[in-house]
Amino acid sequence: MEDLQAPLRDDVRLMGKLLGQTIARDQGEAFLAKLERIRKLSKAARRGEADTDELVQALQQLDEHELVPMARSFGQFLNLANLAEEYHRIRRRNSLVVTRPDPQALDRVFDEIVEAGVSPQQLADKAAALRIDLVLTAHPTEVNRRTFIQKYETMAELLEKLDREHPLSPRTHDLTERLQQLITEAWHTNEIRSERPSPVDEAKWGFAVIENSLWEAVPTFLRHFDRELQRVSGTTLPYDAAPIRFCSWMGGDRDGNPNVTATVTEQVLLLARWMAADLLLGDISKLRHELSMGRASDELRQVVGDCNEPYRVLLRRVRQQLINTRDWAKSCLDQGWQPGEDILLQDNQLLEPLLLCDRSLRECGMELIADGCLRDTLRRIACFGLSLVRLDIRQNAERHAEVFDELTEYYDLGRYSDWDETEKQAYLLSELNSKRPLLPQRGWTPSVNVQEVLDTCAVVARQDPQSLGSYVISMASSPSDVLAVALLLKESGIEFNIPIAPLFETLADLDRAPAAIDTLLKVDWYRDYCAGHQEVMIGYSDSSKDAGALAASWGQYRAQQGLTETCRNHGVDLTLFHGRGGTVGRGGGPSHTAILSQPPGSVDGSLRVTEQGEMIRYKFGIPDLAVRNLELYAGAVLEASLVPPVTPKPEWCELMDQLAERAHQEYVSLVRNNPQFVPYFRQLTPEQELAKLPLGSRPAKRKQDGGVESLRAIPWIFAWTQTRLLLPAWLGSGRALTEACEQQQQDKLRELIGQWPFFNAYIGMLEMVLAKAEPAIARYYEHCLVEPELRELGSRLRKQLRQTQQLIPQLKQNDQLLADNEVIRQSIQVRNPYIDPLHYLQAELLRRDRQGSNQVVEQALMVTMTGIAAGMRNTG
């Protein structure tokens, strides 16, 4: 059988060779010789054929001017290896030689659903009603600049073309030469931004992913979906069906980010409209070129009159309106909002003439033409529309409370925040039902923070509903948090009911979430407002940071169970919004596995989930990969909706309660209660130095004078990832599982792994993290950076890590970690020799930086951070 890994190795070897040639031309053969020596020493150390001391000495002997290029060499190789692996996934999927059928492919998922007893009509009905929102966020996890991403996309295209050429073909030489040029361009481009991106820059980055990949991928995905749906049910999706839509937090997420203002939000909304008009203009121009036929329906003739090319005449008008819309958006961006003439603001305005074309073609026997580019354009409008993405607004509940504090004090009613929940609800409902204005017309001067909240609500109120997603309330804990937002929006003059999604983040808030939603849905005013549909966001990042990964995972599961039952009792449809990140410590992992491990009934045809940082590029940066991931989402949501996972047995839940409680105790005793922990964390990791890395627009801390508790979940994870201790993903879990085994519960744990998708998914994610963790590397950081009196704590942590690394294979009855996932295991093993030098170099640079930094050391340090992030395939 053909070795499908061989082409990947060939690609990595080729790009490594081209990178080496580039480095030699720029830095000289002597530098390349040093690089090769360090690389070979790292490989030998990994194989156990050499001691790491020789590798460390070689790195310490580098001249100062060699620090940055050495770090860049390994970092760029890791980025090229990532690129080769991403393309290889496409190659394997398209290969005629496969080792086994893909269990997540749409055809197999549809067949398994029908085989499980679901009728083809039920499948078709659920497919037509699917509503999956992928919410693109710009958390500071994307370490690659946009210019690098574009170069990598072109490199992937070249690898694909090289696959189709004979090795001796002249075309192969041309393609290789172009690949060399791109690698050289990347080498001579600074991978570190000169300044932090603004929220608008982040939004533009997200729009670029749509323009460069998703615009092409969405209609391709829907064609695949239609083909398999028709095969099993005899029907296809309606033209306006959009199983997957895209939303965004870029420019709308203001929680703890003072850079996201009402002005920024409005600017991002206009930019999205500009880009949507521009992309759709390309579609319409293509349609005008293709729809050259003269046969048309009477209905179309009545609109365009007697002419030789009726479709082109109709589309000429549409084209002009899109040009007007694009010009209007640009004018508003430059000069402020102003009304437009003959522009398109609502999707129906654009759909009407296109549907007229569609009906005419079908009536005249040209269905094949109607199902071509025109159908693709209709599908794009259903997915993206004239707003490109639906922008979510996110704000902290405390900021809304500040508004009412100032108002109630102005009206001599006391301080809103001091009231109990019953008093708050009574006040808010009274104002919601009142016909008089809430805000004073004169004599009241709100603070800057309060004015910003009011300005944001005003921006929301004047938008078209199709351009907005949900209003998300961070740190929500009670029904009054939701009613407060509804009242502020009402006072701003909003004429539509935007979904309001409370975000439950801490473990305590997750536990209280079902009761809070139950109370909210008992409020008659709110029942009318939500119109039978409630959205609730589950926080993964902060709950994990607050309670530890195992306790948080179980808390999230219980909350979803309770919310599902609560909404069912009220006859209200529930959409759960999963705030996942790229790492296990933030709810990351394979999408289909995560969806299929949710509580039964919690996924019923609808789902919202964040796609964060570099995961957007990994999943959706290349059209073929984007198609694959869209299929994974659609297939998993269909399967979870129609063939839900097993209901956990009571004894499984009892065991999970015990495990979660013990893991939580262990986590809190160290992170919250051990006075040595914070100093150890700050000395061991580059947490403080991360602030120098201009990754995203959001500050690293919610409060600049706070400790670990105020640190955002992303830099918390990022810092531990850099040292390879990866503590947030396993701390507490290992102790809980170990003690369960000591109590002779191995068989019960194995039953959970084998029969309960939730527990199996958790153990699988834990196993992947443990395979990436490296106690020896963490020990080296400690040796270089941590005061002797704190090192006993590090020794304890590494001992727990090693015990957990040994325990998981024993539980799964395997001989090593990831024994049943050879692809990921090999991927980690291939990268390790190239990441190791970056770790040892980073530890030395951190030591120098803390003793007295200079520009070269700081630059090299930042390069090691981005290189390690690339090698680990996630940053936070």
Residue range 125-163, pLDDT digits in tens: 999 999 999 999 975 444 456 677 778 888 988 998 998
Distance CA 833, CA 219 (A): 41
CB 766 within 8 A of CB 593: no
170 vs 11: CA distance, rounded Å = 18
502 or 830, greater pLDDT = 502
474 DSSP β-pair partners: 396
**Mean pLDDT lowest for which of 40-44, 700-704, 860-864?**
700-704
User: pLDDT tens, 360-391?
Assistant: 999 999 999 999 999 999 999 999 999 999 99
pLDDT at site 1: 39
Alpha helices, DSSP H only, in 48-145? 52-60, 64-94, 106-115, 120-129
Neighbour-count burial of 53, counting CB atoms closer than 10 A to its CB (0-12 exposed, 13-18 middle, 19+ buried): exposed
What does the pLDDT average to over 417-433?
Answer: 97
Active-site residue (options: 490, 545, 578, 812): 545
Pinpoint the alpha helices (H) of 773-854: 775-785, 791-811, 822-852
What are the residues facing 31 on neighbouring strands?
Answer: none
Decide which of 541 and 704 is more confident. 541
pLDDT band for position 823 (50/70/90)?
confident
Q: Can you tell me the mean pLDDT for 654-683?
A: 96
Residue 861: how many CB atoms within 10 A of its CB? 24
The per-residue pLDDT for 876 is 37
Higher pLDDT, 196 or 828: 828
The pLDDT, as a whole number, for residue 88 is 85
Q: Phi-psi category of 772—alpha, beta or left, where left has phi over 0 and alpha has psi -120 to 50?
A: alpha
Arithmetic mean of pLDDT, 517-536: 97
Q: Helices 822-852 and 52-60 meet at what angle, rounded to 10?
A: 40
Indicate the pLDDT class of residue 712, thresholds 50, 70 and 90: low
Answer for the pair 219, 384: CB distance below 8 angstroms, yes or no.
no
What burial letters (b/e) apply to 332-342, b meaning 16+ CB within 10 Å?
bbeeeeeeeee
Return the H-helix or E-strand segment holding 472: strand 468-474
CB 315 within 8 A of CB 304: no
What kind and span of H or E run contains 132?
A: strand 131-137
Q: What is the pLDDT of residue 699?
A: 57
Give me the pLDDT at residue 2, please.
46
pLDDT of residue 695: 58
% of the chain residues with pLDDT over 70: 93
Residue 838 confidence (pLDDT) above 50: yes
Task: State whether the Cα torsion 669-674-678-684 is positive or negative.
Answer: negative
Q: For 144-245, where are the alpha helices, taking DSSP H only?
A: 146-163, 170-187, 199-209, 215-233
Rounded to an integer, the average pLDDT of 533-547 is 89
Q: Which of 718, 697, 720 is nearest to 876 (CA)?
A: 718
Strands 606-612, 390-396: pairing is unpaired
Q: CB atoms < 10 A from the CB of 86, how many?
A: 21
pLDDT in tens, 760-811: 999 999 999 999 999 999 999 999 999 999 999 999 999 999 999 999 999 9
Strand, coil or helix: what is 440? coil
- Which candidate in 34, 88, 139, 812 is catalytic? 139
Element (H, E) at 618: helix 614-620
The rounded percent of the chain whose pLDDT value lies above 90 is 78
Sequence letter at residue 476: A
Q: Which helix (H) or strand (E) holds 301?
A: helix 298-304
Residue 773: how many CB atoms within 10 A of its CB? 24
Q: How confident is the model at residue 461 (pLDDT cuts 50, 70, 90)?
A: very high
Would you place residue 96 in the very low, low, confident or very high pLDDT band (cuts 50, 70, 90)? very low
Active site (annotated) includes residue 701: no
Q: What is the mean pLDDT of the chain?
A: 91
pLDDT band at 703 (very low <50, low <70, confident <90, very high): low
DSSP string covering 535-603, please?
EEEEESHHHHHHH-HHHHHHHHHHHHHHHHHHHHHTT-EEEEEEE--SSGGGT-S-HHHHHHTSPTTS-
Q: Which of the residue ranges 79-93, 107-121, 658-672, 760-774 would you say has the lowest mean pLDDT?
A: 79-93
Predicted confidence band of residue 195 (pLDDT cuts 50, 70, 90): confident
Domains, the chain, in order of start with CATH, read 262-387 (1.20.1440.90), 395-575 (no CATH), 654-820 (no CATH)
Backbone angles phi and psi of 248, in degrees to 5: -150, 150
Cβ contact 265:390 at 8 Å: no
Cα 315 → chain centroid: 37
**Plot region of 351 (φ>0 → left; ψ -120 to 50 → alpha; else → beta):** alpha
Q: Is the pLDDT of residue 400 over 80?
A: yes
Q: Packing angle between helix 479-491 and helix 507-521, nearest 10 degrees?
A: 60
Residues 6+ apart with CB under 8 A from 689: 846, 849, 861, 865
0.85 exceeded by the pTM? Answer: yes
Q: Per residue in 462-521, pLDDT tens?
A: 999 999 999 999 999 899 999 999 999 999 999 999 999 999 989 999 999 999 999 999
Mean pLDDT over 639-649 rounds to 96
State whether residue 3 is helix, strand or coil: coil
- Whole-angstrom distance, CA of residue 765 vs CA of residue 589: 7
Q: How far is CA 833 from CA 665, 672, 724, 776, in A?
A: 36, 35, 14, 14
pLDDT in tens, 22-40: 999 999 999 999 999 999 9
CA distance 749 to 741: 8
Q: DSSP for 256-300, please give it.
A: T-TT--HHHHHHHHHHHHHHHHHHHHHHHHHHHHH-------HHH
What SS3 state is found at 119?
Answer: coil
**Is pLDDT larger for residue 730 or for residue 50?**
730
Kindly report, residue by residue over 560-615, the tens digit of the pLDDT. Answer: 999 999 999 999 999 999 987 544 444 445 778 889 999 999 999 999 999 987 78
Query: In the prediction, which pLDDT does 520 show?
Result: 96
- Cα–Cα dist 791/782, whole Å: 7
Count of residues for the chain?
A: 876
CB 428 within 8 A of CB 484: yes
**Distance from C-alpha of 559 to C-alpha of 537, rounded to nearest angstrom:** 11
Beta bridge partners of 248: 136, 391
Integer-rounded Cα radius of gyration of the chain? 28
Supply the angle between the helices 791-811 and 746-755 in degrees, to the nearest 10.
70
- Cβ 427 vs Cβ 502: under 8 Å: no
Q: How confident is the model at residue 681 (pLDDT cuts 50, 70, 90)?
A: very high
Distance CA 687, CA 712 (A): 11
pLDDT in tens, 235-255: 999 999 999 999 999 999 998
- The answer to whether 143 and 694 have CB atoms below 8 angstroms apart is no
Answer yes or no: is pLDDT of 336 > 90.
no
What is the predicted pLDDT for the residue at 713?
63
Contact status, residue 534 vs residue 573, Cβ threshold 8 Å: yes
- pLDDT score recorded for residue 618: 81
The predicted pLDDT at position 584 comes to 41
Region 251-262: what's the mean pLDDT? 93
Please confirm, yes or no, whether 151 is among the known catalytic residues.
no
204 to each of 197, 260, 267, 763, how far by Cα in Å?
A: 10, 14, 11, 37
Q: pLDDT tens digits for 721-755?
A: 999 999 999 999 999 999 999 999 999 999 999 99
